Amino acid sequence: MAAASFVSGPLVWAAAPAAASVVWVVIGRAEAPDVRRARERARRDLPHVVGLLADALRAGQSPGAAVSLVSEALPGPASDRLAAVLPRLRLGLPPDAVWAELADDPVLAPLGRALERAGTTGSSVVTAIDRLAYSLAEDGRGEVEDRARAVGVKAALPLGLCLLPSFVLLGIVPVVAGMLGTLGL
C-alpha cells in the first residue's frame, strides 16, 4: 500500500517487496520501550553499584563476594545484571572469563573491562574500581549538568509565547491608547 501511494505503474510490483523488507527490518530492530527503560535505569544506577563495589573491595572482600554483597544490598536493574555472573563464579569458572563475559554487557561493560584488566595484569582491583567509580560519577554529574542547561533553552520559547501577549496588552496597548486619546482621534 505504501509503495502504491508513492510509486505508480509497473514499478509498484518492484517497490512493494522492497518496502515490505525495509519495514520488516526496521520493526525487527526496534527495541521494546520497557527494555530501553530498564537499560537506562541500569546505566543510571551503575555509578552507585560501582561505588558500593569499590567500598566492599576496600573493606577486604574478594571480587566475587563483593559482587554478591552489592547485588543483595542495592536492588535494581544494574545489580540484577551484575548478579547474573554470580552462578558462574560459584561454579568455579575462571574469574577472567566471567569478567570478559561481563564486558560484553552493554551497560556493565566498563566494570567488566576494569575487573578483567585488573585480573589479567595483576594490578590492584580496588584501585581500578575506585578509578572507575570516580569516572562514572563525574560522567553522571556532567550529564545532569547538561540536562539542567538544556532546560533553560527549552523553556525560552514557551515563556516567550506566554509573556509576549501580556507585554503587548499591558505595556504597549495602554501607551498607544493614551497617545490616541491626546491626539483627539
Residues 98 and 175 in one domain: no
Q: Are 115 and 98 in contact (CB under 8 A)?
A: no
Per the domain annotation, does 126 fall within a domain? yes
Residues 60 and 107 in one domain: yes
Amino acid at 131: R
Per the domain annotation, does 49 fall within a domain? yes
Q: Are 108 and 82 in contact (CB under 8 A)?
A: yes
What are the pLDDT digits (tens) for 40-94?
Answer: 888 888 899 999 999 999 999 988 899 899 989 988 888 888 888 999 988 988 8
Pick left, alpha or beta for residue 119 (phi over 0 → left; psi -120 to 50 → alpha; otherwise beta). alpha
| Alpha helical stretches, state H, the chain | 2-6, 12-29, 33-58, 63-73, 77-83, 86-90, 95-103, 109-121, 125-167, 173-183
Per the domain annotation, does 184 fall within a domain? yes
Residues 76 and 5 in one domain: no
Q: How far is CA 120 from the centre of its chain?
A: 29
Per the domain annotation, does 138 fall within a domain? yes
**Residue entry with cell 502504491:** 4
**In angstroms, rounded to a whole number, what is the distance separating the alpha carbons of residues 102 and 78?**
12
**In angstroms, rounded to a whole number, what is the distance separating the alpha carbons of residues 131 and 5?**
57
Neighbours of 60 (CB within 10 A): 9
**In angstroms, rounded to a whole number, what is the distance separating the alpha carbons of residues 139 and 132?**
10
Residues 8 and 98 in one domain: no
Split into its structural domains, the chain has a count of 3
Per the domain annotation, does 63 fall within a domain? yes
Domain that holds residue 164: 155-185
Amino acid at 8: S
Residues 74 and 136 in one domain: yes
Per-residue pLDDT of the chain (185 residues; tens, 9 = 90+): 666 666 777 777 777 788 788 877 877 777 788 888 888 888 888 899 999 999 999 999 988 899 899 989 988 888 888 888 999 988 988 888 888 888 888 888 999 999 888 888 888 888 989 999 999 999 989 988 999 999 888 888 888 888 888 888 999 999 998 888 888 76
Per the domain annotation, does 150 fall within a domain? no
Nearest to 131 by CA among 101, 111, 108: 111
Residues 112 and 181 in one domain: no
CATH of the domain at 72: 1.20.81
